[in-house]
Amino acid sequence: MTGKRIVSIGECMIEMSGGEDRSYRLGYAGDTLNTAWYLRALLGKDWDVDYVTALGKDRYSDDIRGFLRENHIGTDHIGTIPERRPGLYMIHQDKGDRHFTYWRDQSAAKLLADDKSALQKAVEGASLVYFSGITLAILAPKARGRLLGAIVKARDSGAKIAFDTNLRPALWSSPRVMASVLTAAASLCDIVLPTHTDEAPLFGDKSAEETAERYLELGVEEVVVKDGAKEAYIATASEHVRIAPKPAEKVVDATGAGDSFNGGYLSARLSGKSIREAAEEAHRVAGVVIGHKGALVEPKFLR
């Protein structure tokens, strides 16, 4: 895989992360943004990483744009919906357990695919387009169609398409719709990065191998099956490997671990590494991330 521009599509939210003392720290995160962050941190300056979403015209929307630019993530294709705001979620800590509460009904990102021409322009010339099941879940059905149409055009123009199914049942109208949309989206992709424990209840997969085989049968070239702290299973038509993570030195916060794994894996593949080497790098990056608080770890800790 070679190329110089990555486009990640999804929702950036305001994150309020709470401690045991009930104080909160403001930050920004979202599954596809987290992966874009790690791609940006791990790849050289000869790569451009752009984020595609929609924000409002409020102070926090402006702060998000500024935050992305300061960290060298492109904002040229972020739409503006004046009457909308960024979504927000709070992380509550209770004796080491994390609980999430979301406010996203009026999230501007739910309208990120309303402008078909802007969406197609955003992915034009991309080497890699990355999106997730959450990206699809927050969109209305017609908007999902516009997004997938833009992805097909990007792939036809030579882009690789990577997709984390990232199942969030609460965001879907029914399990049947969720399974149908995710399967249709995966069939358009070159690389799919599912999590076995999430997929098994929906699709009936009894093992990581079954999860991988299901996507390979759709025509996906490369399936990277994550399973939390357990080994990853990577499959192509001709190669199958299992890579276990090294024991973590410490676990502070698992927020964004899977997203950082994806960033580590994709950055390695874009740098010409084998699937085995890419999985090892993915585990390394995720191991660093869980040793820090928050979804976005400073790049200096990743090198």
Q: Look-up: residue for tokens 């109208």?
A: 173
Reported as a single tens digit per residue, the pLDDT across 201-244 is: 999 999 999 999 999 999 999 999 999 889 999 999 999 999 99
Neighbours of 235 (CB within 10 A): 23
Nearest to 169 by CA among 135, 140, 194, 202: 202
**Structure-block tokens of residue 212:** 């991988």
Q: Using pLDDT thresholds of 50, 70 and 90, give the confidence band for residue 19.
A: low
Using CA atoms, how far apart are residues 112 and 142, in angstroms rounded to an integer? 12
Reported as a single tens digit per residue, the pLDDT across 76-101 is: 999 999 999 999 999 887 665 678 89
* Domain locations along the chain: 5-12+31-77+112-296
Reported as a single tens digit per residue, the pLDDT across 130-177 is: 999 999 999 999 999 999 999 999 999 999 999 999 999 999 999 999
DSSP-derived letter for residue 237 is S
**Structure-block tokens of residue 243:** 């890579």
Reported as a single tens digit per residue, the pLDDT across 269-288 is: 999 999 999 999 999 999 99
Q: What does the pLDDT read at residue 1?
A: 46
Strand ranges in 2-87 using DSSP code E only, listed in sequence order: 5-9, 13-18, 24-29, 48-52, 54-55, 79-80
Specify the CATH number of the domain 5-12+31-77+112-296: 3.40.1190.20
Reported as a single tens digit per residue, the pLDDT across 32-90 is: 999 999 999 999 999 999 999 999 999 999 999 999 999 999 999 999 999 999 999 99
- In percent, the amount of the chain with pLDDT more than 90 equals 85
User: Catalytic residue at 259?
Assistant: yes
Q: What does the pLDDT read at residue 147?
A: 99
